[in-house]
Amino acid sequence: HHHEQIHVMPEHENLNQTPTPLEVRREGSNVYIKMTAQITDIEINEDYTYKAWTFNGEAPGPLVVVEEGDMIHFTLENMDPAMDHSMDFHAVHTAPNKGFANVPSNEEGTFVYKASSPGVFMYHCGTDPALLHIANGMHGTIIVKPKGGYPTDDEVAREFVVIQNEWYEYNDIENMTNGVPKHVVFSTKALHDGQANTNGVVGALINQPFQVKAGEKIRFYVANMGPNETSSFHVIGTLFDDVYIDGQPANHFEGMQTVGLPASGGAVVEFTLKDAGEYKFVTHQFNHVQKGAVGKIIAYDG
Amino acid sequence: HHHEQIHVMPEHENLNQTPTPLEVRREGSNVYIKMTAQITDIEINEDYTYKAWTFNGEAPGPLVVVEEGDMIHFTLENMDPAMDHSMDFHAVHTAPNKGFANVPSNEEGTFVYKASSPGVFMYHCGTDPALLHIANGMHGTIIVKPKGGYPTDDEVAREFVVIQNEWYEYNDIENMTNGVPKHVVFSTKALHDGQANTNGVVGALINQPFQVKAGEKIRFYVANMGPNETSSFHVIGTLFDDVYIDGQPANHFEGMQTVGLPASGGAVVEFTLKDAGEYKFVTHQFNHVQKGAVGKIIAYDG
Amino acid sequence: HHHEQIHVMPEHENLNQTPTPLEVRREGSNVYIKMTAQITDIEINEDYTYKAWTFNGEAPGPLVVVEEGDMIHFTLENMDPAMDHSMDFHAVHTAPNKGFANVPSNEEGTFVYKASSPGVFMYHCGTDPALLHIANGMHGTIIVKPKGGYPTDDEVAREFVVIQNEWYEYNDIENMTNGVPKHVVFSTKALHDGQANTNGVVGALINQPFQVKAGEKIRFYVANMGPNETSSFHVIGTLFDDVYIDGQPANHFEGMQTVGLPASGGAVVEFTLKDAGEYKFVTHQFNHVQKGAVGKIIAYDG
Ligand SMILES: [Cu+2]
Ligand SMILES: [Cu+2]
Ligand SMILES: [Cu+2]
Ligand SMILES: [Cu+2]
Ligand SMILES: [Cu+2]
Ligand SMILES: [Cu+2]
Ligand code: NA
Ligand code: NA
Ligand code: NA
Ligand code: NA
Ligand code: NA
Ligand code: NA
Ligand SMILES: [Zn+2]
Ligand SMILES: [Zn+2]
Ligand SMILES: [Zn+2]
Ligand SMILES: [Zn+2]
Ligand SMILES: [Zn+2]
Ligand SMILES: [Zn+2]
Ligand SMILES: [Zn+2]
Ligand SMILES: [Zn+2]
Ligand SMILES: [Zn+2]
C-alpha cells in the first residue's frame, strides 16, 4: 500500500522547499562548505512522491569533494520548521556531541574538522532516531581525494559516482525497522562538468545512462547509504580489474566480479567495457533490482 | 504453504525435459561449449518438487571449467517452449545486449568471448526479470583456472566445488522479492573424475558427503548464487588457512574462520581436517542452515 | 508481542541457575578451561527477561583468551537438566563428532585441542538445532593472541572487547528461522583488570560506556555472534586506521569507515578519538540500532 500522506508531520504539510545549491569555497587548504537541511518532495516513482527530509533538497544530498588534509569549515542551515538536524561526515575525526551536534530549526551551526583519511565516505544526519532521518533522505557521499592519488590514476579515462539507497513507507519507523525496503535505487552526482546529478529515484540511471567509450578504463566511486541493507555491486558484462575498499588506496583487490559493501561502505571500482553496447549495473541481491537498483552505461566505439 | 502447482505456466504443464549432458570441446585455446535452457523437475525436498527453469536440466547448472586466456565459443539451445532465455557469464567481457542476448524458444544462439580473468564466477540467465530466472534455477558456476596457478597449488591434495543457492515459492516473483527463502541449499559439481554431481536440494551433501584424508590440504571452490542472500561460509572444526576472494590469486587472506560472500561472490578456500571424523560446513547465517544449507566431509585416517 | 513464558520447557520452569565463574588455569603452554552449560535469566530489556541457555550464566558467555600455540584442555559441565549441550570453538582444529561432541545433562566432557591460528573467534553450542542453542544464548568469543603480536601493538594504549548478538522470540525456532530479530545488542567482556563484563542486553554499553583518553590509539576486538545477521561495525566520529580481519595479522586493511562482518566473523579495529567527548558505535544497519545495537565511548582530555 502507498499511504505516504498519513505520516506527514503537521509542520511539513504543504511544505516543499526549493532545492538550495551547495556552497563550496576554497582558501588554500581551508574549504568552506554550506549545506541546508530542508523538506523537499522527491518523486521516487510515478506513483510515489516522498516529502523527503533532505540536505539541500536532494536525496541523496549533494556530492562533497575535498582533498586529503583539507580543513573543512562546515555550516548547516536548518530550514526545517519542525525539528533538529545534524551532519555526520564519516571522513572526519571529531567528538560527535560537538562536531556533529544538533542544529535547531531556523538556526545555523558551524563545525570545523580535518579530512585526514582518503576515500569514499557516507555522510548523514545523525539526529535521533538516525534510522528515520537517513531513511527519510538525509544521506550522501563525500570523496576525500588521496594526496598520492591511486596507483591506477594514469589508466582511468572517465569516472562517475554511484550511490545506493533504500526507501520505505513514508516516515514509518516501524516499517523501516522491521520491514523490507519498498524501493532500492541508484543515483549519481556530478563529479565533473557536464555530468548528470540525480536523486535516488527509480530509473534515474536507466533514463540518464552513463556514456563512455569502449575500451577505456572507467572508475566508479560507489557508496552504499543503506540505511539497512548491504550491497553486492556488479557491472554486467565486465569485471572489476581494480578495487579499493572504502576508496583507500592501501585496500587494493583485483579481478572481482562483485564487491560486497556493508551498510555505509564505499569502494572505488575500475573496469573496462571492451565492446560498444549497453551495460547494466546492479546490486546482485536481485530482490533489490526488482525494486529499482539498476543503472545503465552506454559504451560507444572509441 | 506449498502451492507449487499454482504458478506453473500453461506451456510447462506436464513438461519435464530429460537432462542434457553439457558439451565441451577444446581446440587449442578455443573452447566450444553447448548448453541448453530447459524445463526439468528438481526434487528440492521430499515434499517439494520444483518444475525448474534450468541449464541442461540441472539447478545449479553444469560446472564449466576453462583456462585463463581461453576463447569461449558458447552456444545456448533454448528448449523452453514458453519464453526467451540467455546466458551471462561473470567471467567474460562482452556487451550484454550482444554477448548475453536473448535466445527465443526453440532457437540457438552462439556467442564468443575470452576468459581473461581467473577465478570462481557465477553464470546465470539474465533475461528480464532476472530475479525470476535465477530463483527458478538458471544459475551455475564457471571456474577460470589462473595461468600461473595459485601460490598454494603444491600443498593441495584434493579439491571440490560447493555452490549455495536459495529456493522460493514456485515461480512467485512477489515472494522472491519480499519474502524470505523457503530453502537455502548447497550442491556440488564434479571437478574431477568420480566426484559427485548434485542439484541444489536439501541434504544433497549430507547424503553424499565429500571424502578426504585427515591431514591433507583440501580446497573448495565456493560460489554463492543468491539470488538475494549473502553467505557466511564456514567449515566446522577447522579454519581456512588460505582464502582467495573471487578465486583471484592476488586477493589472498589467511587464517579466516568464516568467509563473507556477497550475492554472486566466489572464493577459493583451503583448509586441513586434522583428525579423522565428520565435519559439517554451513553458511553461519544459521536461519539458512535450518532451511538446508549444510553439507558434510568425512575425513579418513591418512 | 512478548510471550516469553509460552515456550519455556517444563524442566526449565522456575530454574534460574546462579552464574558460575569461568575456571582457567595455565601450566606452561597447557591451558585448562572449565565452563558450564546452564539455564540463567538474562534481563535483555526492562520488559523482556529471557530464560537463557548459557555458558556460565552469561550470554554472550565468558571471554576466553589464550596464546597462539597453546594446548586447550576444555571441560564442559552440563548443568541443564533438560538436554545435551556442546562447545564449538572456531579457533581450533578437531573432528567435531569427537572434539565438539554432545555432553548429556548432569555430565562433564573434556576435550583437548590446540589454538594454532591467531585471531578473534566465535564459540558456540553446536548441538542440533544449533540455531536454537545460539539464539537462546549459547555463544561467546575466544581471542587467540598472535605469537608475533600485531604490527601496531606498540601504538595501542587501550583495548576492549565488543560482541554483537541477536535475540528473538523466546525459544521460538520458527521466529528465529523466518523472522527479524527482536533485539540486536552489544556487550563487552573484561579483557583487563577493572573492565566491565556485561551480558548482551539493551543499553549495556550506554549505561557503562568505555572510558579512554582523547588522542590515544584504541583497539576493539569485535565479534559478531549472529546467529543470522551480518554486522556493519562503525564508530561515529572517527575511522579505523588499522583493521585485521578475523584478528589475523596478515589480513590488514587501512582507513576504513565501516567493517563488514559475516555471521560469526571477527575483527581487530584500531582508531583514535581525537577530541574529548562522547562517541557512539553502531552496526550501521540502522534497523538494528533501533533494536539496541549501540554503545558509547567517553574520551577524556589526555
Ligand atoms: Cu535529520
Ligand atoms: Cu554513520
Ligand atoms: Cu531464463
Ligand atoms: Cu550477474
Ligand atoms: Cu560455528
Ligand atoms: Cu546448547
Ligand atoms: Na538484503
Ligand atoms: Na585484471
Ligand atoms: Na540473510
Ligand atoms: Na595458517
Ligand atoms: Na540485516
Ligand atoms: Na590512517
Ligand atoms: Zn512504488
Ligand atoms: Zn504506515
Ligand atoms: Zn576486465
Ligand atoms: Zn520444503
Ligand atoms: Zn504463490
Ligand atoms: Zn588450519
Ligand atoms: Zn523488548
Ligand atoms: Zn512464539
Ligand atoms: Zn584516524
| Assigned C-alpha cell, B129 | 526479470
Q: Which residues pair with B45 in a beta bridge?
A: B48
What is the four-CA torsion angle of A172, A173, A178, A180, rounded to 10 degrees? 50
Query: Are A97 and A123 in the same domain?
Result: yes
Side chain identity, residue C197? N
Using DSSP's 3-state secondary structure scheme, residue B155 falls into: helix
pLDDT value of position A6: 76
Phi-psi region of C250 (alpha: psi -120 to 50; beta: other; left: phi over 0): alpha
> Cα-flanking dihedrals φ and ψ of residue B39, to 5°?
-105, 115
> How does DSSP classify residue B11?
G
Q: Which residues pair with B140 in a beta bridge?
A: B123
Query: Are B121 and B167 in the same domain?
Result: no
Residues of C in contact with A248 (CB under 8 A): 253-256
- Separation between Cα atoms, residue C51 and residue C42, nearest integer Å: 6
* Residue B281 placed within a domain: yes
pLDDT of residue A142 exceeding 80, the answer is yes
Domain, as residue range, for C273: 153-300
Instruction: Say how many C-beta atoms besides its own lie within 10 A of residue B14's C-beta.
Output: 7
Q: Are C199 and C292 contacting, i.e. CB atoms less than 8 angstroms apart? A: no
Q: Are C249 and C208 contacting, i.e. CB atoms less than 8 angstroms apart? A: no
Residue where one domain finishes, among candidates B113, B145, B177: B145
Reported as half-sphere exposure (CB side, CA atoms, 13 A), residue A1 has a value of 6
C20-38 burial string, b = 16+ CB within 10 Å, else e?
bebeeeeeeeebbbbbbbb
Neighbours of chain A (3+ CB pairs under 8 A): B, C
> How does DSSP classify residue C204?
H
pLDDT value of position B107: 98
Ligand 5 centroid, distance to B256 Cα (angstroms):
12
Query: Are C99 and C24 in the same domain?
Result: yes
The distance from CA C199 to its chain's CA centroid, rounded to whole angstroms, is: 9
> How does DSSP classify residue C224?
E
Query: Are A141 and A16 in the same domain?
Result: yes
Give A9-44 pLDDT, tens digit per residue: 999 999 999 999 999 999 999 999 999 999 999 999
Query: Are B173 and B39 in the same domain?
Result: no
Q: Which residue in this structure is represented by grid cell 527465443? A: B104
Query: Are B185 and B92 in the same domain?
Result: no
Query: Are A25 and A50 in the same domain?
Result: yes
* pLDDT tens track, chain C, 302 positions: 455 567 899 999 999 999 999 999 999 999 999 999 999 999 999 999 999 999 999 999 999 999 999 999 999 999 999 999 999 999 999 999 999 999 999 999 999 999 999 999 999 999 999 999 999 999 999 999 999 999 999 999 999 999 999 999 999 999 999 999 999 999 999 999 999 999 999 999 999 999 999 999 999 999 999 999 999 999 999 999 999 999 999 999 999 999 999 999 999 999 999 999 999 999 999 999 999 999 999 999 97
> Cα-flanking dihedrals φ and ψ of residue C258, to 5°?
-150, 135
The distance from CA A168 to its chain's CA centroid, rounded to whole angstroms, is: 17
Side chain identity, residue C76? L
Residue in chain C closest to A130 (alpha carbons) equals: C286
C137 touches chain B (CB under 8 A): no
Pairing mode, strands B266-272 and B240-245: antiparallel
Q: Are C144 and C170 contacting, i.e. CB atoms less than 8 angstroms apart? A: no
Q: Which residues pair with A249 in a beta bridge?
A: none
Q: Are C95 and B279 contacting, i.e. CB atoms less than 8 angstroms apart? A: yes
Tell me the CA end-to-end span of chain A in Å, nearest whole number: 47
Alpha-carbon distance C88 to nearest alpha carbon in chain A (angstroms): 27
Alpha-carbon distance C103 to nearest alpha carbon in chain B (angstroms): 17
pLDDT value of position B5: 61
Give B35-48 pLDDT, tens digit per residue: 999 999 999 999 99
* Residue C26 placed within a domain: yes
pLDDT value of position B1: 44
Q: Are A296 and A206 contacting, i.e. CB atoms less than 8 angstroms apart? A: yes
- Separation between Cα atoms, residue A207 and residue A197, nearest integer Å: 12
For residue A4, name the pLDDT band (cuts at 50, 70, 90): low
- Separation between Cα atoms, residue C211 and residue C300, nearest integer Å: 7
Burial of A1 (0-12, 13-18, 19+ CB in 10 A): exposed
* Residue C132 placed within a domain: yes
Query: Are C23 and C65 in the same domain?
Result: yes
- Separation between Cα atoms, residue C55 and residue C139, nearest integer Å: 7
* Residue A177 placed within a domain: yes
Of the residues A246, A251, A259, the best mutation for testing chain C's interface (the one with the most C CB atoms within 10 Å of its CB) is A246
- Separation between Cα atoms, residue A71 and residue A83, nearest integer Å: 29
Cβ–Cβ of C226/B299 closer than 8 Å?
no
Q: Is the predicted ipTM greater than 0.90, yes or no?
A: yes
The distance from CA A178 to its chain's CA centroid, rounded to whole angstroms, is: 23
Residue where one domain finishes, among candidates C145, C167, C200: C145
Q: Which residues pair with C161 in a beta bridge?
A: C221
Ligand 8 centroid, distance to A271 Cα (angstroms):
9
CATH number, position A26: 2.60.40.420
Residue in chain A closest to B122 (alpha carbons) equals: A257
- Separation between Cα atoms, residue B239 and residue B216, nearest integer Å: 14
User: Would you tell me which residues 252-271 of chain C have a C-beta closer than 8 angstroms to some C-beta of chain A?
Assistant: 253-260
Residues 6+ apart with CB under 8 A from C33: C22, C23, C24, C64, C72, C73, C74, C75
Based on the structure, what is the number of domains in chain B?
2
Query: Are B137 and B180 in the same domain?
Result: no
Q: Smallest Cβ distance to C255: which of A119, A131, A228? A: A119
Q: Which residue in this structure is represented by grid cell 554499553? A: C205
Q: Are B55 and B42 contacting, i.e. CB atoms less than 8 angstroms apart? A: no
Question: Helices in A256-297 by DSSP H: which ranges?
Answer: 286-290
Q: Which residues pair with C235 in a beta bridge?
A: C281
Average pLDDT of the residues of chain A: 97
Query: Are A101 and A69 in the same domain?
Result: yes
Give B239-263 pLDDT, tens digit per residue: 999 999 999 999 999 999 999 999 9
Number of H helices, E strands in chain A: 5, 20
Q: Which residue in this structure is represented by grid cell 555505509? A: A264
Query: Are C159 and C294 in the same domain?
Result: yes
Residues of B in contact with A257 (CB under 8 A): 90-91, 119, 121-122, 246, 264-266
> Cα-flanking dihedrals φ and ψ of residue B177, to 5°?
-85, -40
Cβ–Cβ of C95/B276 closer than 8 Å?
yes
A98 touches chain C (CB under 8 A): yes
C175 touches chain B (CB under 8 A): no
| Assigned C-alpha cell, C248 | 589475523
Question: Considering just the CA atoms, what is the radius of gyration of chain B in Å?
Answer: 19
- Separation between Cα atoms, residue A55 and residue A292, nearest integer Å: 22
C132-167 burial string, b = 16+ CB within 10 Å, else e?
bbbbbbbbbbbbbbbeeebebeeebebbbbbbbbbb
Of the residues A228, A233, A253, the best mutation for testing chain C's interface (the one with the most C CB atoms within 10 Å of its CB) is A228
Alpha-carbon distance C158 to nearest alpha carbon in chain B (angstroms): 25
* Residue C102 placed within a domain: yes
For residue B302, name the pLDDT band (cuts at 50, 70, 90): confident
| Assigned C-alpha cell, B261 | 560472500
| Assigned C-alpha cell, C94 | 578437531
pLDDT value of position C1: 44
What is the four-CA torsion angle of C60, C66, C71, C75, rounded to 10 degrees? -30
Closest CA to A296 of A223, A232, A206: A206
Residue where one domain finishes, among candidates C145, C180, C215: C145
The residue count of chain A comes to 302
Of the residues B258, B264, B268, B285, the best mutation for testing chain A's interface (the one with the most A CB atoms within 10 Å of its CB) is B264
* Residue B251 placed within a domain: yes
- Separation between Cα atoms, residue A215 and residue A272, nearest integer Å: 6
pLDDT of residue B4 exceeding 60, the answer is no
Q: Are A270 and A243 contacting, i.e. CB atoms less than 8 angstroms apart? A: yes
Query: Are A94 and A219 in the same domain?
Result: no
> For chain A, how are helix, strand and coil distributed in percent, rounded to 5?
10, 45, 45
- Separation between Cα atoms, residue A189 and residue A221, nearest integer Å: 10
* Residue B50 placed within a domain: yes
Query: Average pLDDT, stretch A214-227?
Result: 98
> How does DSSP classify residue A144?
E
Q: Are C34 and C77 contacting, i.e. CB atoms less than 8 angstroms apart? A: yes
Closest CA to C201 of C11, C54, C16, C33: C54
Give A153-180 pLDDT, tens digit per residue: 999 999 999 999 999 999 999 999 999 9
pLDDT value of position A1: 44
* Residue A252 placed within a domain: yes
Phi-psi region of A98 (alpha: psi -120 to 50; beta: other; left: phi over 0): alpha
> Cα-flanking dihedrals φ and ψ of residue B285, to 5°?
-80, 90
Side chain identity, residue B189? K
- Separation between Cα atoms, residue B44 and residue B198, nearest integer Å: 11
Q: Are A33 and A92 contacting, i.e. CB atoms less than 8 angstroms apart? A: no
Give A53-88 pLDDT, tens digit per residue: 999 999 999 999 999 999 999 999 999 999 999 999
> For chain C, how are helix, strand and coil distributed in percent, rounded to 5?
10, 45, 45
Q: Are C233 and C267 contacting, i.e. CB atoms less than 8 angstroms apart? A: yes
Query: Average pLDDT, stretch A91-98?
Result: 98
Alpha-carbon distance A294 to nearest alpha carbon in chain C (angstroms): 22
pLDDT value of position B256: 98
Closest CA to C44 of C190, C227, C199: C199
pLDDT value of position C302: 78
Average pLDDT of the residues of chain B: 97
| Assigned C-alpha cell, B9 | 505456466
User: Would you tell me which residues 58-77 of chain C have a C-beta closer than 8 angstroms to some C-beta of chain B?
Assistant: none
**Percent of chain A residues past pLDDT 90, beyond the cut:** 97
